Amino acid sequence: FYVPTWDWHGSWGNAEVYYRAHRYISTFYPYWNASGGADHVWAIARDAAACDTPWGSLREELRTSIILSNWGGVTGLSGRIQERCFRPSWDVVVPGTLTDSVVRLSPFWLGEAEQTAQHATRTTQLFFSGALCWKTSTIARTARELQRKCERSYSEPGFLSRYSFGLRYEIFTRFRQVAGFRLHASDFPPSLPPRRERRSLDAEILTSKFCLCPSGTGWGMRVYHVMVLGCVPVLTQHDGEHPPVAQAFEPELLDWSSFAVVVRRDEIARLPQILEATDIDAKRAELRRVWHRIIWRGGLDEPRRSKLPM
């Protein structure tokens, strides 16, 4: 049984809508109590999915049910084991919805020869754009300010105390000067190109071979965005203690290691060497085979809706 709820609270909001839905169906219908909720499916839109947050917990209400969510971490956003969260082989990670304006730019609509020609124009080895540390709105103007911000972000208690597992900042400080790497930190303006030289996010992705896809405040759209635009995702979503964050339809439908570069926490120091050793043609071939699996057909305009492979 699918429980149709709509979470209007957004990213981390109050869990009340799910609590109310649970109370309703367990009171007025016989199906929940017949199975203890084990045959009920919920879609949880929050960044933290079913993990508890300061706004509430769904541990008891959804303890037995199947969760469809965008967050595949067995921990909460703090990087620590919390109530409920994602359960591999029981819950399912589903992708967010890309807009038609992004999907229409995909090189995978082209013929194979045209795709090869498009990939030949990609000159950036690794691209990233985004904030490095929480709070993302707090701007650092110097390297020392950035260091203090990130140290505080990672050490203070709270449900976001390990933003991105600390890996965005580590990768940025280690590799920002590596040839071919374009790492743009929105909370550190000195890392950004001069305004007259800045390009759109789509243009940056379309001219990049690999695109860094770390975790943040839970799930994000970055990995799906770069996949559709033909950039091989580099997944750095591992806290070093627990299993890496599961990706959409993994492992039931998609083998992400076949079209993405999965980097464990203890491999970060070798990131440039890992990318150099990657058979990018093989990754692109597999990406071309599966890219449409992470697109919601209903979000597309015609003729792309009808042309999207089944």
Give the model's pLDDT for residue 213.
Answer: 97
Rounded to an integer, what distance in angstroms lies between the CA atom of residue 42 and that of residue 176?
Answer: 41
Residue 218 has pLDDT above 70, yes or no: no
Mean pLDDT, the chain, whole residue set? 93
Closest CA relative to residue 261, chosen from 221, 214, 210, 216? 210
Give the model's pLDDT for residue 208.
Answer: 98
Instruction: Quickly state the pLDDT bin for 113 (edges 50, 70, 90).
Output: very high
Instruction: Quickly state the pLDDT bin for 47 (edges 50, 70, 90).
Output: confident
Residue 10 has pLDDT above 90, yes or no: no
pTM of the entire structure? 0.94
Taking residues 173-190, what's their average pLDDT? Answer: 97
Rounded to an integer, what distance in angstroms lies between the CA atom of residue 221 and that of residue 250?
Answer: 16
- The 10s digit of each residue's pLDDT in 61-108 is 899 999 999 999 999 888 888 778 999 999 999 999 999 999 999 999
pLDDT-wise least confident of 31-40, 41-50, 133-142, 166-175: 41-50
Q: How far apart are the first and last CA of the chain?
A: 25
Give the model's pLDDT for residue 57.
Answer: 84
Instruction: Quickly state the pLDDT bin for 217 (edges 50, 70, 90).
Output: confident
| Residue 222 burial by Cβ neighbours in a 10 Å radius (0-12, 13-18, 19+) | buried
